[in-house]
Chains A and B, each alone.
Chain A
Amino acid sequence: MILKGRVWKFGDNIDTDIIIPARYLALTDPKALGEHCMEPLAPDFHKKVKPGDMIVGGFNFGSGSSREHAPIAISALGIPLVIAKSFARIFYRNSFNKGLPLLEADIIDDVEEGEEIEVDLSSGVIKLGKKEVKAKPIPPFMEELIKAGGLINYLKKKLEDTHEKV
C-alpha cells in the first residue's frame, strides 16, 4: 500500500499524556478524542491536520500510559501512519491492535514540517524530497494484525475458526 501525505513533526518522548491528556479519558467516542489529540503541545492540531497527513517523531514515541485512547485519537484524525525513531512498547502494541501501522525509521531531521512524503507500507520504503529511507521491517505477526484489520477482527476470525472446527 502506498501512502502519500504531509508531515507533522513532533520530537522525542512524545508521551500519551501529550497524545491525549488524561482529563479526556472518560470519553470513548473517537471523534471527541481526536479533538484533543496533541493538545498540550499543539492545541489546534486537530483543526490543521488533514486526513492522510502523517506524524513523524523522535525516539520513545508513545511512552507512558496504556491508554488505547492514544492511537484511537490519532486514527480519528485520519492519520494513517506514525513514523518514529523508536516506539514505547504498549503504544506499539495498541496501535497495531487498533489497526494503526507504525514504522521505525530515523527521518525526523531529514523532513520539513508540512513536506509531502511517500511511504510504501509493504516494503517500508519512505521517499523524502531527495532521498529514500528504508524503515525497519514490520514483524510478521504485526503485519498479520494489520491485514486482519486489528486484534478484534483477528479474534473474531479465530473464534469463527474454532466454532467451525467444533
Chain B
Amino acid sequence: MGMTMTEKILAAHAGKDGVEPGEIIEAKIDLALANDITAPLSLEEFQKVGATKVFDTEKVVFVLDHFTPNKDILSAENCKKIREFSQKYGVTHFYEGGCCGVEHALLPEQGLVVPGDLVIGADSHTCTYGALGAFATGMGSTDITYGIVTGQTWLKVPESIKFICRGTWQEWVTGKDLILYIIGKIGVDGALYSAMEFEGDAISALSMDSRLTVANMAIEAGAKNGIFKVDVKTLEYVKGRSTKAPRVFESDKDAKYRQVFEIDAATVGLNVACPSLPSNVKRVEEVKGVRVDQAIIGSCTNGRMEDLEAAAKVLKGKKVAKHTRCIVIPATPTIYAEAMRKGLFEIFLDAECVISAPTCGPCLGGHMGVLAKGERAVATTNRNFIGRMGHPESEVYLSGAAVAAASAVKGEIAHPREVL
C-alpha cells in the first residue's frame, strides 16, 4: 500500500521500508531545537542522565528568543546557563543578541532545515518547518534531552489528513486566513495526533512565507505536524541557504488518509479568531468595530517580509489611532534589515508604530507589550487563550498582518479597504 510523505520521511529515519499509522518507531533526528524557556529544563535533565556530550554539535540548536532581550534576572540566568552549556559542549548553532530571531522564522531562513529532514523542537510551533516538506514536531524539554544525547526520538506514526485547495485567492488573503479558516471548520482538536498535508494549485500559489504561516498553526488544530508538497518554490527557497541536500518525499497516489478536505480558495475571506480559542473564527466583516488597545504585527506566525510588507501597504501615510498601540516585530535580524532597507521602517515610524527587536515577547504575555485587565489586542500571533498576552481578563483577536494594521489605524477591528 502507498504511503504519505509524512510516513515516508518517518520510515526513512527509522531505517524501515515502510511504517503505518499507530506504529511506535525510534527515529534518527536531523535537528533538535530548544529556546530560552525550554532549554533550561532540558539541560537540567542532561546533567541528571550524566551525559558527557551532545550527539552532534552541528545538529543541536539553541535560540534565545522568548524572554529576550532578557526581561528579568531569572531570564538572564537561564540564558547564561544555555550560553555556558553551548560553549562547554561546542554547540555550533547557538543564537542570541544580534544573531537571534524568532526561532521558527530563523531556522528556515538560515538554511538549518531542508526538505526531508526530521526535526524535533521543545516548542510547539516547531511544526512550522513542514512548509519545507520536512517532518517537524514540537515536544517537551525532556524529549529534547533524549534527542540531543542519543540523536534519536520515539514517535507514534500519525494518521494523515489531506487539505486540497484549488482556485484563486481573494485580494489581501494570506496563509493566515487559510489556516484560521481550516481551524474554524475542524476545531482545535480536529487534527489531534494527525499530520495535516496541504496540496493543490492554490497551495502552490502560496508564497513560502504564507506556507510557513499555515504549517506553524497546525498545532492549533491539535496536529502533530503540518506538511507541504515540495515544489520549485521550496527548492528555490532552500537553495543558497543550506549546504544540506534536500530529500524530496512525495505522497503516493494510493496513500491512505483519515479524511480529505477540498477547499475552494475563493471562499476563504479575511478571517479573525475571536477570544479565547483559535477555532472561534469569524470573517473580519462580522467583528469589525471591536475596539482594540493594541495591535501586534510579528511572531513566528506572521513576522516575515510578506507580513511586514502587507502592514506597510496599509499603514503608509496613516497614523495609528490615538487610543491604540501598534507594535511591529520583524522576526529576524535579516528581515529587520530588509524592512529597513526597503523603507518600511519610515512608514511604520511615521504611522507612530513601535518597532521592536526580534522577540517572541508579547505573543505569550512575556514582555514588550503585555496587556492590562480589560484590554484587547488584535495580533498576528497564533494563540488567543485566556490571559495569553497578559491579564486573565484581557483579550486577543488573531488575524493576518493587513487586518492588524488596518485595525491599528482605525482603533477597532477593520478590513484593510476601510482605511485605504
Q: A18-B386, A65-B124, A152-B45 are in contact. Are A90 and B74 (CB under 8 A)?
A: no
Q: Which of A25-33, A107-115, A117-125 contacts B (4 or more CB under 8 A)?
A: A25-33
* B388 at interface by CB-CB < 8 Å: yes
- How near does chain B come to A10, taking the closest CB pair, in angstroms? 12
Whether B150 lies near A155 (C-beta < 8 A) is: yes
Please name all residues of chain B whose beta carbon is closer than 8 Å to the beta carbon of A39 when the two chains form the complex: 392
Q: Which of A44-52, A66-74, A126-134 contacts B (4 or more CB under 8 A)?
A: A66-74
* B141 at interface by CB-CB < 8 Å: yes
Please name all residues of chain A whose beta carbon is closer than 8 Å to the beta carbon of B143 when the two chains form the complex: 93-94, 97, 151
Q: A17-B387, A64-B383 are in contact. Are A89 and B224 (CB under 8 A)?
A: yes
Whether A17 lies near B385 (C-beta < 8 A) is: yes
Whether B67 lies near A26 (C-beta < 8 A) is: yes
- How near does chain A come to B220, taking the closest CB pair, in angstroms? 8
- How near does chain A come to B242, taking the closest CB pair, in angstroms? 25
Whether B142 lies near A66 (C-beta < 8 A) is: no
* A23 at interface by CB-CB < 8 Å: yes
The interface centre, meaning the residue of A13, A59, A69 with most chain B CB atoms within 10 A of its CB, is: A13
Q: A23-B366, A60-B222, A65-B124 are in contact. Are A88 and B142 (CB under 8 A)?
A: no
Q: A155-B49, A159-B49 are in contact. Are A28 and B41 (CB under 8 A)?
A: yes
Q: In the complex, what distance in Å separates the CA atom of A89 from the CA atom of B124?
A: 10
Please name all residues of chain B whose beta carbon is closer than 8 Å to the beta carbon of A25 when the two chains form the complex: 37, 66-67, 364, 366
* B189 at interface by CB-CB < 8 Å: yes
Q: In the complex, what distance in Å separates the CA atom of A142 from the CA atom of B158?
A: 16
Q: In the complex, what distance in Å separates the CA atom of A30 from the CA atom of B40?
A: 13
Q: In the complex, what distance in Å separates the CA atom of A26 from the CA atom of B41?
A: 10
* B12 at interface by CB-CB < 8 Å: no
Q: A66-B124, A159-B49 are in contact. Are A93 and B364 (CB under 8 A)?
A: no
Q: In the complex, what distance in Å separates the CA atom of A57 from the CA atom of B383?
A: 21
Please name all residues of chain B whose beta carbon is closer than 8 Å to the beta carbon of A116 when the two chains form the complex: none
Whether B123 lies near A66 (C-beta < 8 A) is: yes
* A2 at interface by CB-CB < 8 Å: no
* B277 at interface by CB-CB < 8 Å: yes
Chain B interfacial residues counted at CB < 8 A: 52
* A3 at interface by CB-CB < 8 Å: no
Please name all residues of chain B whose beta carbon is closer than 8 Å to the beta carbon of A63 when the two chains form the complex: 188-189, 222
* A137 at interface by CB-CB < 8 Å: no
The B351-387 residues at the A interface (CB cut-off 8 A) are 364-366, 370, 383, 385-387
Whether A152 lies near B37 (C-beta < 8 A) is: no
- How near does chain B come to A17, taking the closest CB pair, in angstroms? 4
8 Å CB contact of A152 from B121, B145, B189, B364: B145
- How near does chain B come to A28, taking the closest CB pair, in angstroms? 5
Shortest Cβ distance from A85 into B: residue:
B189
Please name all residues of chain A whose beta carbon is closer than 8 Å to the beta carbon of B140 when the two chains form the complex: 66-68, 90, 93-94, 97-98
* A5 at interface by CB-CB < 8 Å: no
Q: In the complex, what distance in Å separates the CA atom of A158 from the CA atom of B149?
A: 11
Please name all residues of chain A whose beta carbon is closer than 8 Å to the beta carbon of B75 when the two chains form the complex: 26
- How near does chain B come to A48, taking the closest CB pair, in angstroms? 18
Contact with A along B52-77 (1 / 0, CB 8 A): 00000000000000110001101100
Pairs A–B under 8 Å by Cβ, sample size 24: A13-B277, A17-B364, A17-B365, A17-B383, A17-B385, A17-B388, A18-B387, A23-B365, A23-B366, A25-B37, A28-B78, A39-B392, A63-B189, A63-B222, A67-B37, A94-B139, A141-B24, A151-B143, A151-B146, A152-B49, A152-B146, A156-B48, A159-B50, A159-B149
Closest 10 CB pairs of A and B: A94-B140, A22-B364, A26-B74, A68-B140, A40-B392, A66-B124, A25-B37, A66-B138, A60-B189, A40-B387
Binding site for B on A (CB under 8 A): 13, 15, 17-18, 21-23, 25-28, 39-41, 59-60, 63-69, 72, 86, 88-90, 93-94, 97-98, 139, 141, 150-152, 155-156, 158-159
